[in-house]
Structure 1
Amino acid sequence: MRCGITLFIQGYQDWDRFEAVENGESTTPLDPQEDIKRFDQEIESALKLEDLGFDSLWTVEHHVSPYTMITNPIQLLSYFAGATSKIDVGTMIVVLPWHHPLRVAEDMTMLQYVLRGRTPYIGVGRGAGRREFRQLGFDMNESKERFAESIQVIQKALTEERFSFKGEHYQFEDVSMRPRPRDPQQLLDAMHFSWGSPASAPIGARFGLKPLIIPQKPWADYHTDLTEFSRARAEVGLPPVRPRIHMNVFCAETEAEAEAGARQYVPQYADSAVRNYELFSNHFATTKGYEHYAQMANAVPSKEVAAAGMAQTYLDNHVWGTPEQCITKLRAIADEFHPEEFMLVMRFGNMPQDVAEKSTALFAREVLPAVHEFPTMEPIAYEAEPAAV
């Protein structure tokens, strides 16, 4: 089975200052050296991953806040395409409502060219960060419709030399894209969709996208989502497919060291996610298409409670421990979901570079060979609701 690494490049230490500025409070100015240092370190560490035996390198898209500081995943992956020779690359995700869809198709095509035969896995989604929509100048209420139109435009641009499209948000008349993709079918087959609520799962499935799980809830809950995903694919004549699965990982020589690291850094990641998405805020209640997030926000009384709950969910469901424990947990997830690939984030929160590199090297040495031996199983059909595991 395949196993890759995801770059988050977080600026977690800046959240308090960032929120103070956002609230109009007087505080110390941003020290740009913190961002420069983090980027330099993460790029340096990422350049070692190919030699460590990982199959792919992934990254994310976010704007504005210190949550993750990667504003253009395809641009960053184009650098790594030139700096490596074997690994594939992927996005988790490109937020389509923030982009002109023809430009996304062009960027995907260019990435395919510079990879020279390797595969670009393009995961897409519709976004849930209010700050990002506001500061980029897009209406969050339109995200579902913009996403659906964008997918159709991208698929036409990749497969038709000239195409037309008439939607509410995008209109094209006899448009062409050059260069033509090296292999349009490869790009289509490698497109994935990540979602935040069960009701959103069918949106990407109906357009032939494959599932990309970025877990924020217990694993068993994703069977419901994947059932809806598979049902939506079947409705348009598409067969079951394997998901790709992302998770946070911390690997250490001893169980005590692994638990200490996980309990230090995983809650920092959870706190950062809650702050970025404002999962405690009532704004979702008045935003079209985000009813699931509104229900989540109604269930928590404060930011602190939301962060603590997410931290516990991550500690319960993500992967940390000794190499043997990591293998056991990953095998259980593989047996339950029959994934195509794992994509692991090994540095998150305020984790120092040396701590992350030690964890990554140990994982590569003692866990990765075992993961590569996992069989790639047939996709789960999800013809009926499976029993919780």
Structure 2
Amino acid sequence: MKFGIYNEIQASPGANYKQRYDETLRSVELGDALGYDVFMTLEHHFFPTFSISVNPLAFFAAAAQRSKNIRFRAMCHTLPVHNPMVLAAEIAQCDHLTDGRLEVGVGRGHGWLYDPASVPMADSIGLYEESLEILQRAWSNERFSFEGKHYNVRDVEVVPKPLQPSLKIFQTGTSARVFGDAGRRGGGVVVGAAPPPLFTEAVNAYTAAAKEAGNTPQVGLVVPVFLADDEATALREAREPMMRSYANLVVPQESINNEEVKERLRGGGFHFYAGGFLNQMKEYTFESVLANDIAFVGTPSQFIPWLQRFRERHYDFQELALMADFGGQAEWQVARTLQLFARDVMPALR
């Protein structure tokens, strides 16, 4: 079992952005000292309550100067909004700046990013697939060419090449087709921070494809977690920031709720967003979030059997990442969750 930290770097209304970056850098330092394996954040734009992690590579380069062992992974780079030849070089440079501690997460990203980025939703699948192919060719070939619908590349040398001989690629989302491709290719997947049934079909497709291809599955699970030494304290302290977090996350969904946008979302294969799933977060209660295995609040000794029940009810995983920073918590509360998990849960799961 590997252990990670996932931080969306939410900026609740009124938050100081510099403070949020500094707090997150300190959480990476703490995670490194405590023995966590990987730190993850996403790439996100335009909607600060969801995330101000607009450039994960820059953040990783800074965090690498303050840590020794922890690895870094963006979940995920939104490939259709990038020039893939440029992104390939930027990722490779970051691998050098992190001393070969970089992993790569890819996806089509959130449906609400496309209009502000002036990228046609209808092109998202083609742009994603061509971009992923270009990234892999750019890293593994001295020079390469590519001819597709969206990109035509003639004898290009992308520099630098990654420091590592190969970069592990992870995918996220809810698509069984995409996850099956990841399993056949030998990559990993990351899911979670939402109702587990959303991911069951995709995870099962990934696991089956990986095993059929002779690859070892690597499913990463992200769980919003709030730990304290006693249950009453955890429940009392977690309620307000957890519910504020869901109010933060639903904000960008409101930008794509009209029917004209939903039609374009469906045309681009963004059925999850067209269905308005995140609107359901407006109806979440603290009790429903915990009852439906979306998040965990309690003590370390309670978390261990909760994880076993999660496996039995939903799907297996080989990596567990805590989303411990959400909804404007105090920094000491985030640190306490990371410390208690490392002290009491990690040894029981290794």
Q: Check whether TM > 0.5.
A: yes
Structure 1 match to 2:338: 360
Query: Structure 2: any 5+ residue segments left out of the alignment?
Result: none
> Displacement of 1:68 after TM fit?
0.7
Structure 1 match to 2:116: 135
| Equivalent position amino acid for 1:284 in 2 | K
Structure 1 match to 2:20: 38
Structure 2 match to 1:325: 302
* Cα distance in 1 for residues equivalent to 2:177 and 2:338: 35
Structure 2 match to 1:112: 95
Larger deviation: 261-270 or 199-208? 199-208
Q: Would the aligned equivalents of 1:11 and 1:69 in 2 still touch at CA under 8 Å?
A: yes
* Cα distance in 1 for residues equivalent to 2:184 and 2:274: 25
| Equivalent position amino acid for 1:249 in 2 | V
RMSD over equivalenced CA pairs, Å:
2.7
- After superposition, the Cα gap between the structure-2 partners of 1:232 and 1:143, relative to the gap in structure 1 and judged at 3 Å, is farther
- After superposition, the Cα gap between the structure-2 partners of 1:202 and 1:145, relative to the gap in structure 1 and judged at 3 Å, is farther
Structure 2 match to 1:29: none
Larger deviation: 176-185 or 89-98? 176-185
| Equivalent position amino acid for 1:292 in 2 | F
Q: Determine which of 313, 326, 336 is the counterpart of 1:348.
A: 326
> Displacement of 1:296 after TM fit?
4.2
TM-score (norm 1): 0.79
* Cα distance in 1 for residues equivalent to 2:258 and 2:323: 27
* Cα distance in 2 for residues equivalent to 1:367 and 1:231: 29
Secondary structure of residue in 2 paired with 1:48: helix
Q: Would the aligned equivalents of 2:174 and 2:199 in 1 still touch at CA under 8 Å?
A: no
Structure 2 match to 1:295: 275
TM-score (norm 2): 0.87
Larger deviation: 80-89 or 285-294? 285-294
How many residues align? The count is: 342
Structure 1 match to 2:11: 11
| Equivalent position amino acid for 2:342 in 1 | A
Query: Structure 1: any 5+ residue segments left out of the alignment?
Result: 15-32, 374-389
| Equivalent position amino acid for 2:10 in 1 | Q
Residues 116-127 of structure 1: matches in 2 within 5 Å?
116-117=99-100, 119-127=101-109
Structure 1 match to 2:73: 90
TM-superposition CA deviations, 1:169-223 (whole Å, max 9, x none): 11101111222333333x0xx1000013446544655655322113422x35533
- After superposition, the Cα gap between the structure-2 partners of 1:312 and 1:229, relative to the gap in structure 1 and judged at 3 Å, is farther
Structure 1 match to 2:283: 308
| Equivalent position amino acid for 2:90 in 1 | D
Structure 1 match to 2:84: 101
Percent of counterpart pairs with the same letter? 26
* Cα distance in 2 for residues equivalent to 1:90 and 1:259: 30
Q: Would the aligned equivalents of 1:149 and 1:170 in 2 still touch at CA under 8 Å?
A: yes
* Cα distance in 1 for residues equivalent to 2:285 and 2:169: 28
Q: Determine which of 229, 242, 262 is the counterpart of 2:218.
A: 242
